[in-house]
Amino acid sequence: MASSASRHLLPLLLLLLLVVAVGGVFGGGGGGGGERTFIVRVDADAKPSAFPTHAHWYEAAVMTAAASGGGGEWREGGPLIHTYSAAFHGFSARMSPAAGSALAAAPGVAAVVPERVRHLATTRSPQFLGLLSSPPSALLADSDFGADLVIAIIDTGISPTHRSFHDRGLGPVPPKWRGVCSSGPGFPPNSCNRKLVGARFFSAGYEATSGRMNETAEVRSPLDTDGHGTHTASVAAGRYVFPASTLGYARGVAAGMAPKARLAAYKVCWVGGCFDSDILAAFDAAVADGVDVVSLSVGGVVVPYYLDAIAIGAFGATEAGIVVSASAGNGGPGGLTVTNVAPWMATVGAGSMDRAFPANVRLGNGQVLDGVSVYGGPALQSGKMYELVYAGASSGAASSAADGYSASMCLDGSLDPAAVRGKIVVCDRGVNSRAAKGDVVHRAGGVGMVLANGLFDGEGLVADCHVLPATAVGAAAGERLRKYIGSSTRQAPATGTILFEGTHLGVHPAPVVAAFSARGPNPQSPEILKPDLIAPGLNILAAWPSGVGPAGIPSDGRRTEFNILSGTSMACPHVSGLAALLKAAHPTWSPAAIKSALMTTAYIKDNSNGTMVDESTGVVADVFDFGAGHVDPMRAMDPGLVYDITPADYVNFLCNLNYTEQNIRAITRRPADCRGARRAGHAGNLNYPSLSATFVADGTRATMKTHFIRTVTNVGGRRAAYRATVRAPEGCTVTVQPRQLAFRRDGQKLSFTVRVEAAAPAKKMEPGSSQVRSGAVTWSDGRHTVNTPVVVTVQAPLQ
């Protein structure tokens, strides 16, 4: 007699046999008809006994769905792109939307998720974070510098011969490690060592959508031909390297956060982007290989968690005890731009350090405009003032084939060589890359470039390794510069030069929130404050491949062992490395406990003793900019209390988001009974290290109320009594009950309730507008300080 699962799938099998009998409609390649890649989650125990393996079952399912849905694509080697079994049970395949819809209705299929394409979102940062000291900091010493922990870098691959990845002085590869060292062009089988313990690449999803890769431009191996993956890997766990610098800037000792942690590289990003099916395959492999931390500096659009392949893969990793750290995205300074917002991931924004690379513009009228750059080639002639030209002006330097807008952006082919030769060209920021603009100016004969921010960019500046003398200036300076050029005449042209001042340390204020760092509120679940925290991500020096120029453009023939990059991509691996240190020092802590330790010990004051400011505006930043604050690894080592979360707690959270059982099963791989969860309260009652309340001011209530229930675990090592202090958001009342928590032993858990009451706005708000107020609940026993942000958002209805 057939099993229950087999009986449910017999109609699918019979339909498959019918398809084969009538002529095998998948005998040819191609497919057309709007095929796309879908990621399919299945119930692992639902495989019919008629199929010897899950892969056979999956292939049958795809063929059947394609037949009933009116089309599909038969790939060479079969219809499957990837199969998954560790972080996720299921497969990815290319098919028509109709076939995907048919497959979603098949028994045993938990979810069908359309694939999305994602994009890639040091010498000073260890010292800035307090990790470089003599003797070594307590965190480094107690964690043995992260030895025997494995950090997975899901990125563009890695440069295995770089000095940052040498294995001198390291012990044997950890016995728990089950990974492989895949080989290929530029990556021989012996590329791995006791530092780089594993390397894989995943391109099937990319090639299923984009066609076979051009192997003259890309390599089918884990080798990094972009630079991003090598850079992020060394930020997380690079060895100590001296001397290190980029074109003479930022000289010193290069080191990652966890110098003795092992690395495993999973290459998923290619010229065409980073494809969900490949990212999920990397998560699946990382879990099976035995990693301890996953670092993911990749982002994209925010969708419900059950449609988000990164959230789904990260849940499987978290359930396996793996910490997942992800970049918040580079969509700042606008609100609602944060990505990778699932609560089981650490979402990391970017801040600055106390180091700068000033390159100021001196104008002929005596003004000096502040700028930044890491240009390291031949300088402009000392004492000479060069004519300035802005190609966006009516009398500018646009070529005959380009409009003023293209020329203002210095797009390829937009500049008239006769008009810019021998001059410094002002280019507006946007559209093409910053380094590419300099290349356009250089090829047109310009001697220098000033890259000027627009209003949206504000005052946020990024130092780049330009191919010609160039600097970046903020929006206010850019406007002054354009007006200066606009007021010039042929008889009295605008002139200027660029003064490169090298590396400055001890800069104030620091840190500031980087202008590009993506901001909250959380567009998917506002009950969870995102980003979680910020870490150094502005002008970070780290390892760089020998075959890639520092400007990251094909025309750059320079070579450097280290490069300076900016982005939340650089901030994320700082937290990944610190998570490895914490896990090594506290091996019993869960991923949620580690994230809690990093969040509740974060700080919001800069080195001028003021609240951190927003780089884009210069005004005080808020919780939607920096989350819980800037990471403080030394305090995170001994947080006193942690907010722990189990996989079952996340299921309750999803229930309280009103997800269906099928939605939840798509994420968690198992059925969910939401009856108890919904009785327990609301999504904000997830035991998260922050408190976020959202109220709708509809004019019917004078006050609006909610409550949060939290449970903290004593990890301070002894008996302790904690007292709560409250800094209530403006116009709100916050009460904590009880106000004291008396722990009798290490590991004990105690709960408390926070009640928040907000007064309705005194004046009617504009439809769709919102007011944000923040405060904090702080627990202290005299030795530890445990900070929990409180944010209250009052929204006006849309109409």
CA atoms within 13 A on the CB side of 736: 21
- Give the pLDDT score at 398: 63
- Listed range (180-194, 334-348, 384-398) with the worst mean pLDDT: 384-398
pLDDT at 121 > cutoff 90: no
- Listed range (37-41, 379-383, 698-702) with the worst mean pLDDT: 698-702
Dihedral, CA of residue 325, residue 330, residue 332 and residue 335, to nearest 10: -50
CA 612 to CA 605: how far, in whole Å? 6
Instruction: Say how many Å lie between the first and final Cα of the chain, rounded.
Output: 61
* In 473-622, alpha helices (H): 475-486, 568-585, 591-600
The average pLDDT across 642-661 equals: 95
- Give the pLDDT score at 765: 86
CA 276 to CA 39: how far, in whole Å? 8
pLDDT at 18 > cutoff 60: no
pLDDT at 333 > cutoff 70: yes
- Listed range (37-41, 288-292, 597-601) with the worst mean pLDDT: 37-41
pTM score, whole prediction: 0.91
pLDDT band at 25 (very low <50, low <70, confident <90, very high): very low
Structural contact between residues 117 and 559, judged by C-beta atoms closer than 8 angstroms: no
- Among 464, 369, 365, 448, smallest CA distance to 410 is for 448
Integer CA distances (angstroms), 459 to 435, 456, 479, 613, in order: 19, 9, 11, 12
CA 236 to CA 54: how far, in whole Å? 36
- Between 446 and 121, name the one with better pLDDT: 446
- Give the pLDDT score at 24: 31
The average pLDDT across 674-702 equals: 87
Q: What angle do CA 635, 535, 553 make, to 5 degrees?
A: 155
pLDDT per position as a tens digit, 62-118: 888 887 765 544 444 568 999 999 998 899 999 889 899 989 988 889 999 999 999
- Between 81 and 121, name the one with better pLDDT: 81
pLDDT per position as a tens digit, 759-797: 988 788 888 888 999 999 999 999 999 999 999 999 988
The average pLDDT across 451-479 equals: 94
CA 463 to CA 461: how far, in whole Å? 7
pLDDT per position as a tens digit, 521-537: 999 999 999 999 999 99
pLDDT band at 8 (very low <50, low <70, confident <90, very high): very low
pLDDT per position as a tens digit, 135-172: 555 555 555 666 789 999 999 999 999 999 999 999 99
- Listed range (133-147, 276-290, 615-629, 718-732) with the worst mean pLDDT: 133-147
Q: What residues are labeled active site?
A: 155, 228, 569
- Give the pLDDT score at 677: 78
pLDDT band at 49 (very low <50, low <70, confident <90, very high): confident
pLDDT per position as a tens digit, 268-303: 999 999 999 999 999 999 999 999 999 999 988 899
> How many residues are given for the chain?
799
- Give the pLDDT score at 678: 73
pLDDT per position as a tens digit, 371-416: 999 999 898 999 999 999 998 775 456 665 567 889 999 999 999 9
Structural contact between residues 526 and 692, judged by C-beta atoms closer than 8 angstroms: yes
